[in-house]
Amino acid sequence: MNTQETILLEDTYQIPTYRKYPVALVKGQGCYVWDAEGNRYLDFYGGHCVTLLGHCPPRVVTALKQQVEQLLFYSNVVYSPVRARAAALLAEMAPEGLRHVFFCNSGTEANETALKLARTYTGKPGVIALIGGFHGRTLGSLAVTEPIGYRKPYLAVLPPTHFVALGDLEAVEQLLAQRDDIAAIILEPIQSMAGVYEAPVAYYRALRALCDRYNALLIFDEVQTGVGRTGTFSIAEQYGIRPDLITLAKSLGSGVPVGAVLVSDAIAASVRYGDQGTTFGGGMLAMAAVTATLETLREEGLMKRAPQIFARIRDGVADHVVAVRGRGCLIGLELDRPAAPVLSRLREAGILAGNASHPNVIRLMPPLNTPDEAIEMFIDTFLHVLTSVNQPQTTTA
């Protein structure tokens, strides 16, 4: 089936929820993917920040093949050696004090679980979230996702959320001081979809202190920053703090759908049978993928590669863009013109990258094991493309 035939069938039978690139991918290996016509692309988008180890990492593929031949699935009503190994390894790599895990199927489910646990543990309903934050499209996560375009059709059924600006500690403290119903603050440490924005480290430390003072929980949505993408397993390690809950997904299974919530001893001890559940969360295939992903990450020492990749891309393009933001392999390039034509031209040149809510921002999420020559290829191609698109235009974020 060629690209045009594929596009026709998908557009005919699928609900049109995504504005897709006109590319039909059939194969991936490492940091490259191939389309139905055999054209190769350097993938610095990773299917929405998923392929942390590149496409089809050998250890993950082998683990999945072995598990498929043994047991495809059984639910959480029984114990499972593969689930036990995944949970133990994740606990070993998680920040100290967050050694209990709930496995689910996606980032939005992980965030909804974290919000449920926070409300149950504190006995309070209120949540503070950040302007520009994105936490998922199911109703519970949508309630804390700020852009009104996502929430507007469902406002009548969404629980109220208090939104504050990234970096505005005064607004957070004012809410916590004036209200006694705030269960938690939820935030992306780096706001990826918004345009790859991060506050100074002191801000996150101050949030931790405010939560402690006012008996609220701190939830880090690390669906994109987690599993080593920014250089440590959790970005909180770089801030020198410990959230009460961390949510993970995307990179955790190297492309196999899986999510997880890491929680403290106290929160774990408060959970009762039936408080949360999932049929497919913790399934055998997902757990095999998690274990293989984490083993590869740890044994190959890949997390230390993240800041090196960031530094090389920053140094290669900084003089040609407005700003380079992010950490490790979560990078935002702000241009002096709309990003869409640049992204299109990059795709024509054989590179896949991502957009953002900010119209001038290109997002890069390369694998941690991207070779140096691929990074140089990106830099050279990006700089060439910049000179071939329209001249700078004034746009409003």
State the catalytic residues. 134, 221, 250
CA 162 from chain centre, in angstroms, equals 23
Nearest to 42 by CA among 381, 389, 383, 386: 381
The number of beta carbons lying within 10 Å of the beta carbon of residue 86 is 28
Tokens standing for residue 339: 């990003």
233 contact partners, CB below 8 Å, separation of at least 6: 93, 94, 95, 226, 227, 303
**Three-class SS state of 190:** coil
What are φ and ψ of residue 193, in 5° steps? -65, -30
β pairing state of 259-263 and 126-130: unpaired
* 139 contacts: CB under 8 Å, gap ≥ 6: 154, 157, 158
CA distance 219 to 132: 16
Token pair in block for residue 95: 């920040």
Burial class of 99 by CB neighbour count within 10 A (0 to 12, 13 to 18, 19+): middle
Nearest Cα neighbor of 107 from 211, 321, 259, 222 is: 259
- Alpha carbon distance 115, 363 (integer Å): 28
For residues 317 and 376, is the Cβ–Cβ distance under 8 A? no
| C-alpha atoms less than 13 angstroms from C-alpha of 279 in its C-beta half-sphere | 0
Q: Tokens 């009762």 appear where?
A: 272
Q: State the Cα–Cα distance between residues 284 and 86, nearest whole angstrom.
A: 10
CA distances from 387 to 314, 360, 382, 384 (A): 18, 16, 9, 5
Are 178 and 171 spatial neighbours (Cβ–Cβ below 8 Å)? no
